[in-house]
Amino acid sequence: MTKEPNKTPKRRGARIALIVLAVLAAIALTLGCVAYALYWHGRSSLLGHGGDIDTPESLVDSADEDGQTVTYQGADYAYNKNVVSLLFIGVDKSDINQDAVYGKNGQADSLFLAALDTKTGAVKILPISRETMAEVNVYASDGAYIGVQKLQLCLAYAYAATPEEGCENVCRSVQRLLYNIPIDGYVAIDLAGVKALNNAVGGVRVTAPEDLTFRHSPTDVTRIEKGQTITLNDKTVISYIQHRGDDVNANNRRMQRQQQFLNEFIRIAANNVKKNFTLLEKYYSIAKPYAVSDLTLSKITYLASTYLVGGRIAPNYIPVTGNTVMGEQYVEFYPDEAVLYEAVLAAFYTKV
């Protein structure tokens, strides 16, 4: 008589498998609830603003008292309350957290104001020249407030004792420049952080818009020809986004390269995160030692989710043109008022 096999090990294995699946499901549910909570907390803390927006009386046909609706060149516009704005600041120092004294804390070398429409996921970016002449709060070396002066916008970051104060001072000047448009958050990163993020995505590939020569040392020189495509590395990435010539239009050309780098980095990083959302935390961890921001985890979760779900990876850049002249000491950029206001309308308003 054949003895029936013992089924206990199989049954025990089945029970263990069910327990494991239940635990995994509970973990997934918990993580989902956490992400859900972060998303909605971030959303509630970023949306619902508006404030009092200034309107240039010389340009608009009419406007309500707080600038929420305006008539410009015969067309009606309403402020888009679905838009969240973030100011990205590139600081020209290698250690953003090493505080100096007022006036000597580095400068805002690159400035990009991003407007994310949380309803559609579309992003519009205003590149702002560091040489823009703007109203800047100025402080003495001991921190005493001196007053507001018309200076290059990049200097707003220098007049602070900490990177947080520097970012807030830059935001203040940018708001004045852009008719008191709300700025919902800022992210500032130093040069070492740019290297780290460039490495994180395997090196950003760019096609040089001009002939470039980078002298790393008397005997170490990199030459790149116009139209040449290269992958930026630790040796070339900072030179590519920071190199500037001596003529008045040198920074305008540099802004073109900075925009080129930013655009390609966003494309690579966003596509990577869409495939694997956990990479968002990885990129955040890589950037954190080199960055200063007032964005919380919940805000970052909400913004990243909204942007990626929207499916529009490539941002739309809105150029701000004007006059670039040589001042008494430094190059000065004066944006065309109509162009500047039209850029604000395009990024923050919707046509009625």
Q: Which residue has the tokens 């929207």?
A: 310
26 and 115 inside one domain: no
Residues 186 and 156 in one domain: yes
What is this structure's pTM? 0.85
101 CB-contact burial (10 Å; exposed 0-12 / middle 13-18 / buried 19+) = middle
**Residues 33 and 125 placed together within one structural domain of the fold:** no
Q: Is 163 within the bounds of a domain? A: yes
Instruction: Give residue 28's domain range.
Output: 10-46
- pLDDT over threshold 70, residue 350: yes
Which pLDDT band holds residue 135 (cuts at 50, 70, 90)?
A: very high
* 251 and 320 part of one domain: yes
**Residue 34 pLDDT > 50, yes or no?**
no
At residue 49, the pLDDT reads: 59
Q: What pLDDT digit, counting tens, does each position of 61-80 carry?
A: 999 989 999 999 999 999 99
Q: Are residues 155 and 221 in the same domain?
A: yes
Q: Is residue 309 part of a domain?
A: yes
- The answer to the question of residue 2 being in a domain is no
Kindly state whether residue 1 falls inside one of the protein's structural domains.
Answer: no
Do 165 and 84 share a domain, yes or no? Answer: yes
| Domains held by the chain: number | 2
Query: Are 19 and 161 in a shared domain?
Result: no
Taking the C-alpha atoms of residue 234 and residue 202, their distance in angstroms, rounded to an integer, is 11
> How far is the C-alpha of 92 from the C-alpha of 239, rounded, in Å?
12
pLDDT of 305 over the 90 cut: no
Regarding whether 277 and 158 lie in a shared domain, the answer is yes
130 and 226 share a domain? Answer: yes
Cβ proximity of 159 and 136 under 8 Å = yes
Beta strands in 73-232 (DSSP E): 75-79, 83-91, 108-117, 123-128, 133-139, 145-152, 185-189, 205-207, 212-217, 220-224, 229-231
